[in-house]
Amino acid sequence: MVGPFYKNIRLLILTVVMLLAWGFSAFQALPRQEDPELVARTAVVQTAFPGANAERVEALVTSVIEEELSEIEEIDVLESSSRVGFSTVSIELAETVKEAQPVWSKVRDELDDAAIRIPEGVTTPELDEASTKAYTVIASLTWNLPDEPNYAILQRYAKELGILLRGVSGTEEVEFYGSPAEEILVEIAAPELAGIGLSPQQLAQQIRLSDSKVTAGQLRSADRDIAIEVENELETLEQIRQIPIQSGQGQFARLSDIAMVSRGVREPLNHQAIVSGKL
């Protein structure tokens, strides 16, 4: 069959040209999307069983969920792990699944059936679908000045850029990576702290108790216990500076009178992004 191509070089060249033209034409005709939709074929089912050991979690929760989910034909892989007080079941759909949402609806129905069979005190199984989104643009901000990087300034510019990007038509989500965590720093000299009769731990305890996230008390009655919390929340540096501090002698002073309060980046950094091989 290949003999004519060896004998007639013009026929060979013509055939190659036709194949290239056909391939290029087929490529141009393929449908393309700027942001292609990806099918999320994986998910995780999480269930809490407070106080139960791993064996009870496996027998009473994990095995029940796996039994219910095994009835769904579109599921290709089921993997599970059971540990003290917690059950995790990983789901992977078959490659033939083109529309995942109808399958996840079946999964939720089966989880509702499993919730009836599991013991009391177990939380409702929660389905967490994996997110499979494509990023259109990945931008980076770097510090190019000769002095040490000011991560607080970089973070502020990044947030401003995020606001602008969210205003662009078609933008669904903006995420940040490598953002440094902020902290409120209270600095006080050791002699000053000793002068008011407090230890660092005692001063930190008074500051912590001034935060509204700490329960102020509890109201108990015959049928219920109600936690009482302070309504005001420490949101600004000025509010923190105005925290009243009681000295060891029983006198009160504002925190700003005995210490310097500032906002900064937590060190050492717990998250850093690498751009062009540099942090």
Q: What is the CATH number of the domain that holds 202?
A: 3.30.2090.10
The total domain count for the chain is 2
Write out pLDDT tens, residues 40-59: 789 999 999 988 888 999 99
Tell me if 37 sits within 8 A of 132, measured CB to CB: no
Domain that holds residue 241: 189-258
Q: How many CA atoms lie less than 13 Å away from 202 in the CB half-sphere?
A: 10
How far is the C-alpha of 178 from the C-alpha of 175, rounded, in Å?
A: 10
Tell me if 126 sits within 8 A of 44, measured CB to CB: no
The pLDDT of 21-47, averaged and rounded, is: 75
Q: Tokens 């540990």 correspond to what residue? A: 83
Which tokens belong to 226?
A: 């109600």
Task: Examine the pLDDT at 255 and tell me if it is beyond 80.
Answer: yes
**169 belongs to a structural domain:** no
Which tokens belong to 118?
A: 């599991």
The pLDDT of 149-166, averaged and rounded, is: 87
The pLDDT of 229-250, averaged and rounded, is: 78
At which of 129, 153, 178 does a domain end? 129
Write out pLDDT tens, residues 120-144: 889 999 999 887 666 677 888 888 8
Give CA separation, 250 vs 17, 205, 239, in Å.
95, 16, 22
Question: Is the pTM of the predicted complex or chain greater than 0.75?
Answer: no
How far is the C-alpha of 279 from the C-alpha of 180, rounded, in Å?
A: 12
The top-scoring range by mean pLDDT among 60-74, 141-155, 163-177, 233-247 is 60-74
What pLDDT, on a 0 to 100 scale, did the predictor assign at position 215?
Answer: 54
Q: Which residue has the higher pLDDT, 231 or 22?
A: 22
- Select from 69, 138, 145 the least CA-distant residue to 107: 69
Task: Examine the pLDDT at 6 and tell me if it is beyond 80.
Answer: no
Looking at the structure, tell me whether residues 123 and 200 fall in a common domain.
no
The pLDDT of 1-22, averaged and rounded, is: 76
- Residue 88: enclosing H or E segment and its boundaries? strand 86-93
**125 belongs to a structural domain:** yes
How far is the C-alpha of 279 from the C-alpha of 273, rounded, in Å?
A: 6
Which tokens belong to 245?
A: 């501090």
How far is the C-alpha of 120 from the C-alpha of 273, rounded, in Å?
A: 45
Average pLDDT, the chain: 82
- Select from 72, 71, 64, 123 the least CA-distant residue to 89: 64
How far is the C-alpha of 111 from the C-alpha of 117, rounded, in Å?
A: 10
What pLDDT, on a 0 to 100 scale, did the predictor assign at position 217?
Answer: 59
DSSP at 200: H
Categorise residue 178: left if φ over 0, alpha if ψ from -120 to 50, beta otherwise. Answer: left
**272 belongs to a structural domain:** no
Write out pLDDT tens, residues 186-215: 888 888 888 888 888 888 888 888 765 555
**18 belongs to a structural domain:** no
How far from each other are the two terminal CA atoms of the chain, in whole angstroms? Answer: 61
What pLDDT, on a 0 to 100 scale, did the predictor assign at position 216?
Answer: 55
How far is the C-alpha of 62 from the C-alpha of 67, rounded, in Å?
A: 9
**109 belongs to a structural domain:** yes
Task: Examine the pLDDT at 225 and tell me if it is beyond 70.
Answer: no
**95 belongs to a structural domain:** yes
Q: What angle do CA 172, 166, 179 make, to 5 degrees?
A: 95
In this structure, of 20-24, 47-51, 216-220, the range with the lowest mean pLDDT score is: 216-220
**136 belongs to a structural domain:** no
260-265 and 225-229 beta bridge pairing: unpaired
CATH code, domain carrying 73:
3.30.70.1430
- Select from 93, 95, 67, 90 the least CA-distant residue to 78: 90
228, amino acid identity: I
What pLDDT, on a 0 to 100 scale, did the predictor assign at position 140?
Answer: 84
